[in-house]
A = this chain, B = another copy of it.
Amino acid sequence: MKNVAIVGASGYTGGELLRMLSVHPEVEVTEITSRKLDGQPVHKTHPHIRDTGLVFKDKKPSDIDADVIFTATPHGASMKIVPELLETGAKVVDLSGDYRYRNTEVYEKWYGMKHTDKKNKGAFGLPELYRDEIEKANLVSNPGCFPTGAILSSYPLVKNDLVEKIVIDSKSGVSGAGVTPSGTTHYPNIADNVNPYKISAHRHTSEIQQELHGFDDVKVSFTPHLVPVNRGIQTTSHSFLKEEHLDITPDEIRSLYEEEYGDEYFIKLMDEGEIPHLSSVRGSNFVHIGGFEIDETGRIVMLSCIDNLVKGASGQAIQNMNIVLGLKEQLGLQHLGIYP
């Protein structure tokens, strides 16, 4: 058994790590930290996690003793503690945005703050794209929730240089806004409503662009919406074919996805005409991808569904942990979506 610590375990992603690791056969959570909940038993905050004996501790990074440490800390906070955590010899999986950028200037522009740890570089923790780098890393930077769904739904299109423009229109569940109440998450503002936000300049745009841009001059734009859903991100990706590829067929596009993802345990490609649904992945680490349609304007419509707290956060973090520990990648993550 390996020991796991979770730094900043008071939020939803902390709760998800605890929920999923409770049935993981090879690791055990031995420490959970939180400054404001110091001394409180875990179930006061995560009422589904009972009888574990776990108690939040306010602990200095250097005092944490574990094989793997998850940092479920906010943007800006992670880079303050990760260097010290790495010095303990632990592997670190960071769930914030701090280590996601190859170029820290992009980070500084979109997050509006100085990056204080330019020394440590994180492997970009999207195993389906970067498995080899993650295997060798001491620090893995878990991708954002929107980028996970967006990148996976469009990657084969850009890799094969088919499209010139991608409009990503994503609809997210409200758990993505975190555990802290605000006007944004006030029930009467969400229920029976659709809330677009940061419609032309959400931070995750830069993370999606980093991963989809590299290949080419493709123009990537992104607009997120909050919908009356607890968990899940449904992404509709509208991509415009390059002039020279206008005669490609839906079947040919499907083949490119099968080639790319055919061996991936967590990615399921929908049948022809089958729409991926959040309910099929709810609570699970699976990604459902469908669409594969082309309209008369040369637009490819691709669809993806993930659980924002699982494949979009804590599940993917555990997948990364499994990889850095040399375990089977799907360990502790084999449970299926809660449908309906």
Contact = CB atoms under 8 A, between A and B. Distances in A.
B47 A339 contact: yes
A195 B274 CA distance: 11
- Contact residue range for chain A? 35 or more
Interface stretch (A55-63, A76-84, A134-142, A293-301): A293-301
Contacts of A336: 19, 22-23, 48-49
Interface string A256-267: 000000000000
Interface string A170-191: 0101110001011101111111
A39 interface: no
Interface stretch (A116-124, A154-162, A226-234): A226-234
Given A185-B181, A336-B19, A238 B196 contact: no
Given A47-B274, A193-B279, A303 B199 contact: yes
Interface of A: 12, 15, 19, 22-23, 46-51, 165, 167, 169, 171, 173-175, 179, 181-183, 185-197, 199-201, 205, 219-221, 223, 225, 227-232, 234, 236, 238, 240, 268, 274-275, 277-284, 286, 288, 291, 293-295, 297-299, 301, 303, 334-340
6 closest A-B pairs by CB: A188-B340, A194-B234, A200-B293, A200-B295, A48-B337, A169-B169
